Every structure is written in C-alpha cells, then in structure tokens.
Structure 1
C-alpha cells in the first residue's frame, strides 16, 4: 500500500508502476457523466425492453493507490436492467457480443458464471478508455428474486484536479 497515513499519497512514479498507466487529471463530475453515458449506450446495445435502475455513477477510492480518497479516484456504476423478460436475456447477450466490439470494447470473458446457476456473463475492457465491465444475465436466482441483468461498469483511476475535495465529490 502506498498510503501510510491520512493525506499521504504515493508519488506519481509509484502510481504509474502500480497501475501500468499515468492517471489522467479529470474532474469528478466529468468522469461520472462519461460512465453514465457509457451505461446508457449499454442499455441500448442490449436491445431488449426493460427498466434500468436509476443509480448514478459515483467516485470511489482508487484501490491500493489512495485509500484515503484524497487525490486519486475511480468511478463505479453498478446497475441493473429490471422488468425485462428472462426469455430476452439470450437476445441481450447475443446483441452485446456483436455490438460491444463495434463500440470499442474487447470481450475478455464470455461464458457461464462460476456459480450453481451458471448464468451467462460477459466481461469486457474498453480499448481506448480503460473502462471495464461485467454483465451478468441473472435468469436463475435463488428465493423469490426476479430475473435481471446486472452491470458493473468501472473507470480507470483518475487524478482529481488540484483543490478538489474528493470527500465532497
């Protein structure tokens, strides 16, 4: 861990070595808006009717780089497509397999989840922006839980502009 106390952040050279890239300086709102737009495009790419959850993307600490959340951050956006017909989940996943590469995503995993239900899962990385995502078509769920498609979209780490208070972001 690079951060040894409140407000102590790793030197940029250590951050670069740890991440494999130099985090871009970007305003939090701009990064959140970008992730929200990407999520919206994913709903369209699925091509099935349903209601996306209305959880907005949010800045969180950049794990292992700045756990005190003072300088570096990433944007997480976990959301779900509800009220979708489970019979359409195969169509949604097929559409994503075709459309994601056209949208700049490289699929890194396409197969069943490591669970008893073996629901389909696609994992992908955006080739230029370094965003990554996991999409799970939860056709079979325990208890009385309704089927849904879960999406987790995560940005790369960013460096907040000078003077940004991430605790208020």
Structure 2
C-alpha cells in the first residue's frame, strides 16, 4: 500500500472506528472464503491501533488478528499456493511469499489491496498443534468524522 503522507500508511477514508471495524471484518470474511476449504475461524474481533505519528485523536487503524483451523489438517496442503494464485484475482497484490526464519520454517504470504487500503499477512503453521493459518489484516489510516471520538477496543 502506498502512503499519501510519505509515512508508508495510506489514507483509508473517514469513518467511525466501529464502521471501519465492521468493514475490516467483512474483508476478513472474504479472505476466509478465499481459503476455500472446510474449517473454522477463531472468534476474534478487530481492534483499534494508532496510525503512525498522526494525531491519535483524529486518526486510527484497524487490525483483525484471527486463525483458521481446517476440519482436516491435510486440507491445508497447497492452500498457500492457491491463495497466492487466487488473491490477485480479488484485487490483492502478493508482495511477499516465503518461508520464515523460525525453526518450523512457516510459509508466509503478505498481500496488499490498494483499493480497500488494507494488507494481510497469512502464516501457514503446519507444525502447530493443531495445524492452522494465522491471519492479520491491517488497514490504512482512517480519520474520525468531525464531532466523533475514536472508540478504542
């Protein structure tokens, strides 16, 4: 995602923190659908974070950290490669696809969606018990509408 302020964080629009969190959950749902295998997502809600050096009373970002647990661990085989191929068709640009440096050599995929001003990092934790995908969706900077306050949750 390209920044409009030169700080690496794009401007995502004007929303209340609740509206922005709802939009981020919908984006996570789209990613869940793209995974394309049977499973269950962890029950987690988005949170609010600061937006770099911008005024914390006027600007905020939303993050949504969640996990996906397949019905059968063997179903995770090939899912990262499929996501790497399919996500660009849904407006995502894969900016990184590699094994990490952990002892488990987890496969990581990072993608940006410039239209939705969001990024996602997906980690295939094949050696976790149970195996899962760990996901973190992070938005660009939102500005709170005049007369409203940022809810921190």
Larger helix share, 1 or 2: 1
**Which residue number corresponds to residue 108 of structure 1?**
95
Structure 2 unmatched ranges of 5 or more: none
Aligned residues: 150
Moved over 4 A (4+): 19-23
**Which residue number corresponds to residue 64 of structure 1?**
53
Larger strand share, 1 or 2: 2
Cα distance change on mapping 1:124 and 1:163 into 2, 3 Å: same
Shift of 1:91: 3.0
Report the 3-state secondary structure (helix = DSSP H, G, I; strand = E; otherwise coil) of the residue aligned with 1:149.
Answer: strand
**Which residue number corresponds to residue 129 of structure 1?**
116
Residue 78 of structure 1 pairs with residue 65 of structure 2: yes
Shift of 1:83: 4.6
The 8 Å contact of residues 125 and 131 in structure 2, kept in 1 or not, is answered as: yes
Q: In terms of Rg, which structure is larger?
A: 1
- Find the aligned partners of 1:57 and 1:20 in 2 and give their Cα distance: 18
The 8 Å contact of residues 51 and 61 in structure 2, kept in 1 or not, is answered as: yes
Of structures 1 and 2, the one scoring higher in RCO (CA 8 A, sep 6+) is 2
Q: Match for 2:23 among 34, 42, 48? A: 34
- Find the aligned partners of 1:100 and 1:121 in 2 and give their Cα distance: 14
TM-score (norm 2): 0.87
**Which residue number corresponds to residue 74 of structure 2?**
87
The 8 Å contact of residues 42 and 68 in structure 2, kept in 1 or not, is answered as: yes
Residue 138 of structure 1 pairs with residue 125 of structure 2: yes
What's the C-alpha RMSD, in Å, of the aligned pairs? 2.0
Q: Match for 1:159 among 138, 143, 148? A: 143
Shift of 1:19: 4.3
The 8 Å contact of residues 48 and 152 in structure 2, kept in 1 or not, is answered as: no
TM-score (norm 1): 0.79
